[in-house]
A = this chain, B = another copy of it.
Amino acid sequence: MTDVIEREIKVKLNVDPQSLMEKLLQDGYVYVGKETQEDIYLNGDTRDFRKTDEALRIRLVNDKIELTYKGPKMGSRSKSREEITVSLDDKDSMIRILEKLGYREAQSVRKTRHVLKKGEFSVCIDIVEGLGNFVEIEGIDIDEEKLLDFFKEFKSRFGISGEVITKSYLELKVEKLASSSN
């Protein structure tokens, strides 16, 4: 669909997601919608995306199916990556074609995402299966400085104290699986 620089900042929620949502709505945020997302991550047979810091993902969101490639992180303080996405009609066939090209299902992450908007920023409240609750602030093609300022102001206004998490849900999940198998 589009080729954009997506910048995002994420933090683990130390407040209740429902009450945060209510506060945002009172503050003039617009509720965009709720999505049930299943992300299937693939990895290469001869190319380890954990090492190259790339990602290849099939996302099922409501009735849509998307294939996304994410390039290595570019920013240092927020998370910026090149993203290329196409919409398609058949998850299983796409997975089978990618298998033929040497890419295989590695992990999946399921979450419920509530999306709210204010100006150029999207605020996503994510309830992630097996990982907990997070808030992710996203901006498309915006300045890193601007996103960081918005984030700082956001945290103080809504009483969120967590540290910035630069890891993806996939990385957090892999980490958790590794530590629980020790």
Contact = CB atoms under 8 A, between A and B. Distances in A.
Q: Is the interface of A mostly helix, strand, loop or mixed?
A: mixed
Nearest to A2: B93
A89 B90 CA distance: 12
A86 B89 contact: yes
Given A84-B96, A96-B84, A1 B89 contact: yes
Given A69-B97, A85-B93, A98-B101, 13 more contacts: A1-B90, A2-B93, A44-B101, A56-B101, A67-B97, A69-B96, A69-B100, A69-B101, A71-B100, A84-B96, A84-B100, A86-B93, A88-B89
Contact of A86 (B3, B71, B90, B103): B90
A41 to B, nearest CB: 14
Interface residues of A, number: 26
A81 to B, nearest CB: 12
Interface in A95-127: 96-98, 100-103
A11 to B, nearest CB: 29
A161 interface: no
Nearest to A94: B86
Contact of A3 (B54, B56, B93): B93
